[in-house]
Amino acid sequence: MEEKKKISMAVIRRLPRYYRYLSDLIDNEITRISSKELAKKMGITASQIRQDLNCFGGFGQQGYGYNVHSLFTEIGRILGTENNFKIVIIGAGRLGRALAHYPNFIKRGYEIIGIFDISPAIIGSIINGIEVMHLDDLKFFVKANKTDIAVLTVPSTSIREVVNTVCEAGVKGIWNFSPRELNLSSETVVENVHLSDSLMVLGYNLLQNDKAL
Amino acid sequence: MEEKKKISMAVIRRLPRYYRYLSDLIDNEITRISSKELAKKMGITASQIRQDLNCFGGFGQQGYGYNVHSLFTEIGRILGTENNFKIVIIGAGRLGRALAHYPNFIKRGYEIIGIFDISPAIIGSIINGIEVMHLDDLKFFVKANKTDIAVLTVPSTSIREVVNTVCEAGVKGIWNFSPRELNLSSETVVENVHLSDSLMVLGYNLLQNDKAL
């Protein structure tokens, strides 16, 4: 491990954006693109693109540019789209239910295999073809089914307990939608989604625009 | 306009995170904190904090640190929490409905004043106390009610048309949850939320962890 040069998270965080743009190009039946053209579409510089993709060995060919389909497949592979990651959703409230129908899970190669809650009113109900189970059954479920990721849509008040349960059960990654930021010291990978951060940046930019007008 | 030094968006994007941590400190009745202590909690350096906050005039006092409540209020003010931004949600599907109940709108000083859709099956239904209206009525609604932000939870296929309608109606900002990235050249401020980007970064980190184990 750590044989290869560590790639910065800033570069990694840009990869899904390339992936989205390449997906659009494929939808528009574009098979080949220069870094210059792609840069123009994405509002970044061609040298940024070349620099980013060089971290993974390049992919482009001098005088040809990028083969859209190969680049799309390669970036997908780097990001794990071919790994068929298995997901459970913890918290079958409104957001949990919306995520259970999230089309990009399937498009990005992920599969929802279980939904968990603690409310007797919700347990046993069917969401997108999946029966909601009690959180107490998570540990057994994870043992019986390869489970890579737990999506957490639980209130702040119960987040600590749920995280403990999820980690004990052996889930390897957490996609956290609860307001509290998780910084786990354990081997569990965490990705926090803070929608309100994005909302507040929008608020800031609105204020700036108002001042400028 | 543009009298003050332009603050980089990287700094702005970090402000909501300070805001969340300060909110936690308030919940825990902590009234004062040094940049060193705050840095430790947030997993960044004290000099980063001082540098970030100096862009707005500092706030800290030598030998005292930060007054938690003042700093929280100030950062909130910079981000627009005192501006009572008015929101409409366009698209009353699962995600739209979940967002209509999103508690952080109120906590961050935002107010949902309208929900719009085009489906006859949904129009007229009540979501969180608000009656869903037809998108055709948006223009009239925006004229009659100050409307700052449109939250878009519509499919990619209809996003262009909806964006045109929203911009024509005079909405000033867009919080875009649709998969297509919006880069509007007009005066409308856009903040794109790409959940799948975050999911794919999680996938990448899972792969790296697997390799390391």
Residue B4: predicted pLDDT: 54
pLDDT digits (tens, 9 = 90+) for A64-79: 889 999 999 999 999 9
Amino acid at A77: R
- In this prediction, residue A19 carries a pLDDT of 95
* pLDDT score for A194: 92
Residue that wins the pLDDT comparison between B105 and A97? A97
List Cα–Cα distances, A37 to A47, A196, B66, in angstroms.
12, 34, 48
Q: Give the relative orientation of helices A68-79 and B195-212 as an angle to the nearest 10 degrees.
A: 60
Quick one: average pLDDT of A49-62? 80
Amino acid at A168: E
Phi, psi of A99 (to 5 degrees): -65, -30
Q: pLDDT digits over A81-91, tens only? A: 999 999 999 99
Q: Check pLDDT > 60 for residue A2.
A: no
Nearest chain A Cα distance for residue B136, angstroms: 25
Give the residue from B82, B105, B200, B213 with the most A CB atoms within 10 Å of its CB, the best one to mutate.
Answer: B200
Confidence of residue B1 (pLDDT cuts 50, 70, 90): very low
pLDDT per residue as tens digits for the range A10-38? 899 999 999 999 999 999 999 999 999 99
The strand pairing partners of B191, in sequence order, are: B175
Query: CB neighbours of B76 closer than 8 A, spacing ≥ 6?
Result: B19, B82, B108, B109
CA neighbor of B76 nearest in space, from B64, B87, B68: B68
Instruction: Considering only residues B103 and A98, tell me which one the structure prediction assigns the higher pLDDT.
Output: A98
Chain centre to alpha carbon of residue B122:
26
Task: Answer whether B206 sits within 8 Å of A195, measured CB to CB.
Answer: no
pLDDT of residue A64: 80
CB contact under 8 A, B1 and A211: yes
Q: Residue B102 in contact with residue B86, Cβ under 8 Å?
A: no
Measure Cα distances from A180 to A96, A155, A197, B23 in Å: 16, 9, 12, 11
Region A189-198: mean pLDDT is 94
Q: What is the mean pLDDT of residues B89-107?
A: 93
Which range among A63-67, A134-138, B34-38, B168-172 shows the weakest confidence by mean pLDDT? A63-67
Q: pLDDT band for position A54 (50/70/90)?
A: confident
- The three-state secondary structure class of A79 is helix
Q: Is B155 on the interface with A (CB under 8 A)?
A: no
Which residues, listed in sequence order, are joined to residue A173 by a DSSP beta bridge? Answer: A149, A189
Pairwise CA distance, residues B15 & B108, whole Å: 13
| Residue A151: predicted pLDDT | 97
Compute chain B's Rg from CA coordinates.
Answer: 20
Given this model, what pLDDT does residue A58 score? 67
The one-letter code for the residue type at B2 is E
- Scored b (16 or more CB within 10 A) or e, B25-51 reads beeeeeeebebeebbeebebeeeebbe
Number of Cβ pairs closer than 8 Å across A and B?
A: 181
Q: What is the average per-residue pLDDT within B64-80?
A: 92
Which residues on chain A are in Cβ contact (under 8 Å) with B97? 94, 98
Distance (Å) from the C-alpha of residue B132 to the closest C-alpha of chain A?
17
The pair phi, psi for residue B31, each rounded to 5°, is: -100, -15
Cα separation, A167 vs A187, whole angstroms: 9
How much is the average pLDDT of B188-212? Answer: 92
The whole-chain average pLDDT of chain A stands at 91
**Burial class of A181 by CB neighbour count within 10 A (0 to 12, 13 to 18, 19+):** middle
In A, residues 24-63, which contact B (CB 8 Å cutoff)?
24, 43
Instruction: Calculate how close chain A gets to B211, using CA atoms only, in Å.
Output: 7
Q: Of A204-213, B65-74, B114-123, where does mean pLDDT reach its minimum?
A: A204-213
More confident residue, B16 or B184: B16
Whole-number average pLDDT of chain B: 91
What number is the average pLDDT over the span B68-76? 94
pLDDT tops 90 at residue B54 = no
Which positions in chain B touch A107 (Cβ < 8 Å)?
196
Contacts of B148 (CB under 8 A, 6+ apart): A206, B83, B85, B86, B87, B171, B172, B173
Report pTM. 0.91
- Determine the average pLDDT of the residues in A177-195: 87
Least confident of A13-27, B23-37, B55-69, B99-113: B55-69
Alpha helices in chain A (DSSP H): 9-27, 35-42, 46-54, 68-79, 94-100, 103-107, 138-144, 156-169, 195-212
DSSP one-letter string for B161-178: HHHHHHHHHT--EEEE-S
Query: Could you tell me if B97 and B160 are in contact, meaning their C-beta atoms sit under 8 angstroms apart?
Result: no
Q: Is A10 on the interface with B (CB under 8 A)?
A: no
The β-bridge relationship of strands B86-90 and B32-33 is unpaired
Task: Please report the pLDDT score of residue B59 as a whole number.
Answer: 73
Cα–Cα distance between B101 and A95 in angstroms, integer? 9
Is A106 near chain B, with CB under 8 Å? no
**Burial classification of residue B136, based on how many CB atoms lie within 10 Å of its CB (0-12 exposed, 13-18 middle, 19 or more buried):** exposed
